[in-house]
A and B are shown apart, each in its own frame.
Chain A
Amino acid sequence: SYVLTQPPSVSVAPGKTAKITCGGNNIVDKSVHWYQKRPGQAPMLVLLYDVDRPSGIPERFSGSNSGDTATLTISRVEAGDEADYYCQVWDGARDLPLFGGGTKLTVL
Chain B
Amino acid sequence: QVHLVESGGGVVQPGRSLRLSCPASGFTFSNFALHWVRQAPGKGLESLALISYDGSTEAYADSVRGRFTISRDNSKNTLYLEMSSLRVEDTAMYYCAREKSQGEAFGVLEHWGQGVLVTVSS
Chain A residues at the B interface, C-beta cutoff of 8 Å: 31, 33, 35, 37, 41-45, 48-49, 54, 84, 86, 88-91, 94-102
Contact = CB atoms under 8 A, between A and B. Distances in A.
Contact of B44 (A45, A54, A95, A100): A100
A43 B110 contact: no
Contacts, number: 70
B47 A99 contact: yes
25 contacts: A31-B106, A33-B107, A33-B108, A35-B109, A37-B39, A42-B114, A43-B45, A44-B112, A45-B108, A45-B110, A48-B110, A54-B100, A54-B110, A88-B107, A91-B107, A94-B59, A94-B62, A95-B57, A96-B50, A96-B59, A96-B107, A97-B50, A97-B109, A99-B45, A102-B44
Contacts of A97: 35, 37, 47, 50, 107, 109
B45 A42 contact: no
Interface residues of B, number: 27
A89 B107 contact: yes
Contacts of A94: 59, 61-62
A96 B114 contact: no
A99 B44 contact: yes
The A interface, classified by DSSP as helix, strand, loop or mixed, is strand
Contacts of B110: 45, 48, 54
Nearest to B100: A48
B109 A43 contact: yes
B17 to A, nearest CB: 23
B112 A102 contact: no
A37 B108 contact: no
Q: Which 9 A/B pairs are nearest by Cβ-Cβ distance? A: A90-B107, A42-B112, A95-B59, A97-B107, A102-B44, A99-B45, A97-B47, A96-B47, A101-B44
B53 interface: no
B95 interface: yes
